[in-house]
Structure 1
Amino acid sequence: MPSTVASTAPSSPERAAPERAAPERAAPADVAPADAAGGAAPARGRRLVVPFATLALAALVSVVSLSPLNDAPFTDSPFDLRGLFVTLLCVDDPGMLPIVVAALVTVGAGAEHVMGARRVVLAFVGGGLVTSVLGLFVGAVETAFLPAVPLNSPPMAGAPPIAGVVAVAMAASCFTGALWRRRVRLVSFFVALTLFLYSASASDLYALVALPVGLAAGMISGGRRAALRVQRSSHHETRVLLAALTAVTAIGPVVATVWGSGAGLLSIYGWLSYDPLTLADGVVCVVSSSLAPCPPAQQYSELQAHAGWIAVLPLMVLLVASWGIVRGRRGALGLAIAVNLLVFAGMTYVFVVTEPSTLAELAVLRAADAASIWQTIVGLCVSALVPLAVAVTLFVFRRAAQVPSARGARTAFVVTVAIGAAGTLAVALAGTLALADQFGPRPDAGRLVATLPLRLLPPSLLPVESVQYVPLTPAAQALWYLPSALFWMTCLVAAVRLMLRVPDARVTGDRARARAMLERGGGGSLAFMTTWAGNSYWFAPDADAAIAYRVHGRVAVTLGGAFGADRARGDIGRAFVDFCGENGWIPVFYSVDDAALESMVDLGWQRTRVADEALLDPRTWEPTGKKRQDVRTATNRAAREGVTVQWTRWADLPFLDRAQLREISEAWVADKTIPEMGFTLGGLDETVDPAVRLMLARDADGRIVAVTSWLPIHGRAGVAGYALDVMRRRDDAMNGVMEFVIGAVIAQARADGCTVLSLSGSPLASHREAEAADLPAVDRLLEQLSALLEPAYGFRSLSMFKKKFQPEFAPMWMLYPDAVQLPAVALALLRCYVPGLTLAGAARLGARLRPNGREGAVNAA
């Protein structure tokens, strides 16, 4: 099935409604219009940014300078309106003032851009005051009914400025397009939730309460109402979300350490920065240790106050893994899962096996806010389960990261870590034996060997019971702290190397062999899709030909027919069938053209038409005639409006252009009822290949308004033409922009000497002449499926759009051995396009589509 459909939408804006997102509510008159990707706003809106930012800065500075406002309330009642208003503009820590001002100015300027200055002020002041009242109420409920659960420090005053900033951001999200709406809300949610869980100050409670308050403020003031469904993410956006989740688990403990109040569910991570080695009136000891106990003393302090920063190194490994997940690296996902599982195991051992009374005693000795025993137990359990939940989430969505590691990269990583561990343990063992007199009590060889693996842990993570001897001299202390630091630095360097060694899809294993065969002998218009990730390859034993396939259940689904110099040989298909029989698979040849069908006619299998491919000859095609009037009109309009095209590659685009393409693509995916598909349906990830060409449309300001990607069609003499893959545009692009872009591609192909240009197929929208009642049962089923999916992906609308270019339509077929196997074949095809889809998931997908189908029918009428 050609790839234009699920990664593409019908491109004529006046006729192809399925491509467009759900219509936004009309913005009020004073709202500066902006497109889904944050387009330019009129100068009238921009002129108010500087005055508002200056006013906010002056108000904050002046209020902070009046220290009595921070120290004495205006009234005995925390619900005093004037006091709440002053608190909303007050920063009690001068060191936080630059951060708060920067956040207020940045968020305020962006919010004003999309919803106007008056709504920004309303969301900040009104939303802040409502947040104050609700926060005080929630704090009172926590104190009265949840004393045993560690949540946050009780709020004693109103909401701080950061809560107003969160309310403004959430309100502004109601006035943006789907992509930025989701990003703003997710970023705000992640930031607020991270601070609440790890820091847990009263201010963090207000930031969390400000999320729904700001959302309500945006909807009340005329913004788009929140849809009661999870917005779809592209594969790239899914990786961004997984990377964000991984990064939160890395940053959270640092937040708990630096800013933590000690009162939150995950504030217990702040204890990771404390060194168990303690100075009690100058004596090195360990609190609650049986072998090196602390004597009664007047003064207690940590032996090395900065030793806790060694525990940051494993968290930096997690940050490196999150960077790799964004890039789609499978090794990065595995690394993140492994580190989170190690954290889970360590937290379970250290904080669950260790008696809570030990932590309570540590809290008292360090003059911290010691939680009650029940609060400690709850915090310990939650802190141990969070990394496990993150690891499970990463595993469930592991298909989002499919880029394999470079050849030998994983081996190099494992060897490097193993050498680092062995070196660390050897240095620790030999050094401790050599300096045994400088430890107390003096360690013997048996005790050293028994506790040796724990020396790989950062010192602040050592369980108290495991510390059986303590370093007494500077040399012994260096031997105590440095080995684990060097080991985790080695792990960090190995992780960075693993992420930097990016494999080239053209030179990895079977894919390299298949690509060389394709470039040498050619194939059909779908053949280049066989180079995409996720395919397996069967190579003919005695011919220069191969077939790409995917196995789901017991069904092996091919991606097109054979490719290579000998692809037309009649015995290739039979040999693949025999190969599938040896493995117990049911072979299905999917989206094969007439030439491949002819070579496999001796199989005697049943066939059904699954798509029609639109083909053009760029050497003879001209935009003349009445039926091509739309193409000429679009070209003339583009000339008048200054819209131009650019024939390029992904690698040649600067960073800002790539960001624009991702915005266009994500905005298209975000509001879809069904997820972004794969198999024969490419997305933006597939455009990175240097062989793929892009035709971009830019408006008069140079902004990218539309993008199409073109896959090479190889012949025996090289690239013979191109096949359309991705086709996406902005909602505010010029009417007819896709007709203009494709017309420009035809001209470019003619100039390059190409002999064929494929507009790809229109799956489930074949040009059958028979009435639906006269079609075979399987064809009627495909017709019904086409009608069901039409509102989501516009198969039929796409087919009608391609008719504007007057192409020749060539059928594409599915060959299968027996109609009895069709249910299994259908499920396998669904899983090819949506990996991991279950029968229950398919049922839920159909239920979501049915209402849209009725709505689409009404709109069509």
Structure 2
Amino acid sequence: MGTAAFIDAPLDLRAVLVALFRVDDLRLLPFIVAGILLIGAGAERVMGARRVLLAYIGGGVAISVLGLAIGVVETSFLPALPLNSPPFEGAPPIAALLAVTMASSCFAGALWRRRVRLASVFVALTLFLYSASASDLYALVALPVGLAIGMLAGGRRARLRVQRSSHHETRVLLSALTAVTAIGPVIATVCGSGAGLLSVYGWLSMDPLTSADGIVCVGSSALPCPSAENYAELQPLAGWIAILPLAILLVASWGILRGRRGALSLAIAMNLLVFAGVAYLFAVTEPSTLADLAAVRPTDAISVWQTLVGLAVSALVPLVVALTLFVFRRAAPVPSVPGARSSFALTVGIAASGTLAFTLAGTLGFADQFSPRPDAAFLVQTLPLRLLPPTLLPVESVQFVPLTPWAQAIWYLPSAVFWAVCLVAALRLVVRSSEAQATGDRVRARAVLERGGGGTLAWMTTWPGNAYWFAPDADAAFAYRVSGGVAVTLGGAFGADRARPGIGRAFVDFCGEHGWTPVFYSVDDETRDALADLGWQHTSVADEALLDPRTWTPTGKKRQDVRTATNRAAREGVTTQWTRWIDLTFLDRAQLREISEGWVADKTIPEMGFTLGGLDETADPAVRLMLARDREGRIVAVTSWLPVRGWDGVVGYALDVMRRRDDAMNGVMEFVIGAVVEQARAEGCSVLSLSGSPLASHREGDAADLPAVDRVLEQLSALLEPAYGFRSLANFKKKFQPEFAPMWMIYPDATHLPAIGLALLRCYVPGLTLAGAARLGARLRPAARESAEVSA
């Protein structure tokens, strides 16, 4: 069908509607039916049946019109650019389903809105770049069409700013990105040499050795193929050897999802390796060579120019992925166990050496079974290339071909064995990384804490990211983090001997030996008094809200809000559940992640850490959860409670995570915390901490009369208030009429304050640079000014 005929052809609306319900390949029918049932049911639940029909039929027609128009432009103006096969029919069901999916995302919460959209983009882009059939073009067009329909139908409008992700969600996105780079080439291999920008991976999966009427050749200037009627790859299945490196990327993707640092490094290395290999092919492959290759492959429809463009884009994609993983490398904090990386490197090194030695010895030993007879000098020179899967060998490096089955075994099998060993080594590296959380200082520190207890916030010392100092002659320890030469403790000492005189001084001496400035952060009055002999300065950084479950009741005028919330919960059928993360169902955990991601997405700054936990920390079996469920059993609010350990076990709990749905009833948090007080009383607990609100101390007097360091903290508190609401949180806790106990920061002298301030910021937001802090301040300042005006 010519371009003119295509342009002049009238749009057949009936054919377009039929295409939305037609499946040409019956093998795809079960998947299409499953997609309609799953996507349709989910979309109907969030936006109603009428909107689903509008998105499917109306969106399908719009997609068909736009797709056909794009086909006209491509055929007329971009004939040499590898984009996609030209569309001549209406959009298929998969495109209409994608439109429904994107439309329904406008009615979903923050977590599923982002996940659905990114998953749809990944699917559509992967198919378009690696395959690029006409259906794949329609799938790509379905993304903006579905989004527009969702917004016009009353859904949430897309915001231009990038929404924040929690640490867990960041790992999900990085894992998905890594998986796409592994799955995409497989799609290109299955589709052969398609028409997409990255379909060149399908070309690279073809065996360069060709059988022309039974004669083995390469089709290069060194080993040209004779004129023949029958051409075929010598080993059509050889392309699947190239799947093994991609399987390593899938293993890395799984490890990134679980926060394994070794997996992220492995993914970066593999993508850089792919970039280097494809860039080499692009640099050394001449158009004439590609023309020769095309000449011996009559079924190949990609021009030389298209192949060169595809090679250039194919080289850039893994480079961009590697850079993205590197930028967000802190999302994978779990280190490998000692020796895991060296073991991986040793395994790969031994496998490479063995592969090369076997290839060299086998090729020379069976030299008479190759044509022409291999030149030993050239063989040694190009030997490292034999580690590559055979289909990725540069044509110029092939100067002889195997003739017999034994020679073909020597040609194909060594690289397959090498990459299989690398795959096993990668699995061991990623799996052994998970053991890092159960070994070393963290286990020892947890044991010290469980034996002798600590302050109300001591359980935070068991979180990842902390380093530990253990008293050499006492059962006590400090948890700390070092940034910029400043060692910031997380609370005071913990353990049975935490109150012994000299523990703090010994930690100070330890820091001095390493050239660090020690800072005792968020310590109570007892620790401050124990460190008084240091003669250091101190300032209040927060006020901890404390309740005694044995005597606290919701009576009294000032606790009216708590009673009102409890009564309203009874009327609306809201109930509480005291549980643990490990006891929750998969659906319950998904709901908690949705609530948490919705909370993080609305923040102006990244999710913070140090003394502020997130959903990852709730997975500890020692941490308890108090959930609020509505009448339908849906979770509408969650709080997490860290154990407070004393001499004889758990003596209370400390509040950590506190998050709710936007549509939860007013007062749900007052109701939940009131239920926790009752639970703590039933367990015989003597203390319940609502924790401190960082930088929200209840200071008395005029701000102008405060010391300089307190004024700086006041300004920082005002700056962060619009993003995290520390002051609002402190005011919320007043509803329970707790006793407020100051939490102190103890430091050597005021000259260290600039370095201490930056160190604290980096503790709460790891990886923050001076430039990043400046940009963060610029984003927060307008909101802080607006908040101050509203308060005034």
TM-score (norm 2): 0.93
| Distance in 2, Cα, partners of 1:602 & 1:705 | 49
Deviation at 1:135, TM superposition (A): 2.9
- Residues 225 and 296 in structure 2, CA contact (< 8 A), matched pair in contact too: no
- Residues 445 and 477 in structure 2, CA contact (< 8 A), matched pair in contact too: yes
1:137 alignment partner, SS class: helix
Q: Deviations over 1:402-441 (max 9, x none)?
A: 1122344434433443443344334434433443332222
Deviation at 1:739, TM superposition (A): 2.4
Aligned to 1:499: 430
- Residues 88 and 164 in structure 1, CA contact (< 8 A), matched pair in contact too: yes
- The 10-residue stretch of structure 1 (569-578 or 825-834) with the greater mean CA deviation from structure 2: 569-578
Taking the TM superposition and a 5 Å limit, the aligned residue runs for 1:521-600 are 521-600=452-531
1:75 and 1:549, CA in 2 relative to 1: closer, same or farther beyond 3 A? Answer: closer
- The 10-residue stretch of structure 1 (142-151 or 457-466) with the greater mean CA deviation from structure 2: 142-151
Taking the TM superposition and a 5 Å limit, the aligned residue runs for 1:436-455 are 436-443=367-374, 445-455=376-386
What stretches of structure 2 of length at least 5 have no aligned partner?
Answer: none
Deviation at 1:604, TM superposition (A): 2.7
Deviation at 1:855, TM superposition (A): 5.5
The answer as to 2:760 corresponding to 1:829 is yes
| Distance in 1, Cα, partners of 2:670 & 2:549 | 15
Deviation at 1:822, TM superposition (A): 2.5
| Matched letter for residue 227 of structure 1 | R
| Distance in 1, Cα, partners of 2:22 & 2:789 | 54
- Residues 356 and 376 in structure 1, CA contact (< 8 A), matched pair in contact too: no
Aligned to 1:774: 705
Q: Among residues 548, 572, 576, which one is paired with 1:617 in the alignment?
A: 548
The answer as to 2:319 corresponding to 1:393 is no
| Distance in 2, Cα, partners of 1:628 & 1:266 | 64
Q: Among residues 271, 283, 290, which one is paired with 2:203 in the alignment?
A: 271
Q: Deviations over 1:187-238 (max 9, x none)?
A: 1111111112111223222222222222122212222111120011000000
- Residues 352 and 381 in structure 1, CA contact (< 8 A), matched pair in contact too: no
Deviation at 1:445, TM superposition (A): 4.7
Higher relative contact order (CA 8 A, sep 6+): 1
Taking the TM superposition and a 5 Å limit, the aligned residue runs for 1:35-74 are none
Q: Among residues 496, 517, 520, which one is paired with 2:451 in the alignment?
A: 520
| Matched letter for residue 698 of structure 2 | H
Q: Deviations over 1:562-612 (max 9, x none)?
A: 223333345333333343344333332221111111122233332221101
| Matched letter for residue 552 of structure 2 | W
1:821 and 1:673, CA in 2 relative to 1: closer, same or farther beyond 3 A? Answer: same
1:854 and 1:106, CA in 2 relative to 1: closer, same or farther beyond 3 A? Answer: farther
| Distance in 2, Cα, partners of 1:90 & 1:621 | 67
1:147 and 1:579, CA in 2 relative to 1: closer, same or farther beyond 3 A? Answer: farther
Q: Among residues 180, 188, 196, which one is paired with 2:120 in the alignment?
A: 188
Deviation at 1:384, TM superposition (A): 1.0
| Matched letter for residue 213 of structure 2 | D
Aligned to 2:404: 473
| Matched letter for residue 491 of structure 2 | G
1:285 and 1:708, CA in 2 relative to 1: closer, same or farther beyond 3 A? Answer: same
1:501 alignment partner, SS class: helix
| Distance in 1, Cα, partners of 2:440 & 2:379 | 46
Q: Among residues 374, 383, 386, which one is paired with 2:305 in the alignment?
A: 374
Q: Among residues 679, 686, 689, which one is paired with 1:755 in the alignment?
A: 686
- Residues 262 and 433 in structure 2, CA contact (< 8 A), matched pair in contact too: no
Q: Deviations over 1:752-783 (max 9, x none)?
A: 33322211111122122223232223323322
| Distance in 1, Cα, partners of 2:678 & 2:345 | 52
Q: Deviations over 1:116-151 (max 9, x none)?
A: 222222223333333333333333444444455322
The answer as to 2:57 corresponding to 1:118 is no
Aligned to 2:672: 741
1:731 alignment partner, SS class: coil
- Residues 208 and 218 in structure 2, CA contact (< 8 A), matched pair in contact too: yes
- The 10-residue stretch of structure 1 (275-284 or 144-153) with the greater mean CA deviation from structure 2: 144-153
| Distance in 2, Cα, partners of 1:364 & 1:851 | 64
Deviation at 1:101, TM superposition (A): 3.7
1:757 alignment partner, SS class: strand
- The 10-residue stretch of structure 1 (560-569 or 603-612) with the greater mean CA deviation from structure 2: 560-569
Q: Among residues 87, 92, 95, which one is paired with 1:155 in the alignment?
A: 87
Aligned to 2:641: 710
Deviation at 1:670, TM superposition (A): 1.9
| Matched letter for residue 424 of structure 1 | T
1:558 alignment partner, SS class: strand
- Residues 712 and 722 in structure 1, CA contact (< 8 A), matched pair in contact too: yes
- Residues 352 and 380 in structure 1, CA contact (< 8 A), matched pair in contact too: no
RMSD: 2.6
| Distance in 2, Cα, partners of 1:576 & 1:682 | 25
| Distance in 2, Cα, partners of 1:509 & 1:629 | 49
1:84 and 1:360, CA in 2 relative to 1: closer, same or farther beyond 3 A? Answer: farther
- The 10-residue stretch of structure 1 (598-607 or 318-327) with the greater mean CA deviation from structure 2: 598-607
- Residues 407 and 503 in structure 1, CA contact (< 8 A), matched pair in contact too: no
| Matched letter for residue 367 of structure 1 | P
1:222 and 1:656, CA in 2 relative to 1: closer, same or farther beyond 3 A? Answer: closer
Aligned to 2:389: 458
Aligned to 2:289: 358
Aligned to 1:221: 153
Deviation at 1:266, TM superposition (A): 1.1
Aligned to 1:13: none
| Distance in 2, Cα, partners of 1:213 & 1:589 | 56
Aligned to 1:231: 163
- The 10-residue stretch of structure 1 (178-187 or 706-715) with the greater mean CA deviation from structure 2: 706-715
The answer as to 2:173 corresponding to 1:241 is yes
- The 10-residue stretch of structure 1 (422-431 or 598-607) with the greater mean CA deviation from structure 2: 422-431
| Distance in 2, Cα, partners of 1:86 & 1:858 | 59
Deviation at 1:398, TM superposition (A): 0.7
Deviation at 1:80, TM superposition (A): 4.7
1:206 and 1:261, CA in 2 relative to 1: closer, same or farther beyond 3 A? Answer: farther
| Distance in 2, Cα, partners of 1:463 & 1:171 | 46
What stretches of structure 1 of length at least 5 have no aligned partner?
Answer: 1-72
- Identity of aligned pairs, percent? 78
| Distance in 1, Cα, partners of 2:262 & 2:53 | 47
- The 10-residue stretch of structure 1 (369-378 or 811-820) with the greater mean CA deviation from structure 2: 369-378
Aligned to 1:719: 650
1:136 and 1:638, CA in 2 relative to 1: closer, same or farther beyond 3 A? Answer: same
Q: Deviations over 1:719-740 (max 9, x none)?
A: 3322111112223334333223
| Matched letter for residue 284 of structure 1 | V
Q: Among residues 378, 383, 389, which one is paired with 2:314 in the alignment?
A: 383
- The 10-residue stretch of structure 1 (435-444 or 89-98) with the greater mean CA deviation from structure 2: 89-98
Deviation at 1:269, TM superposition (A): 0.8
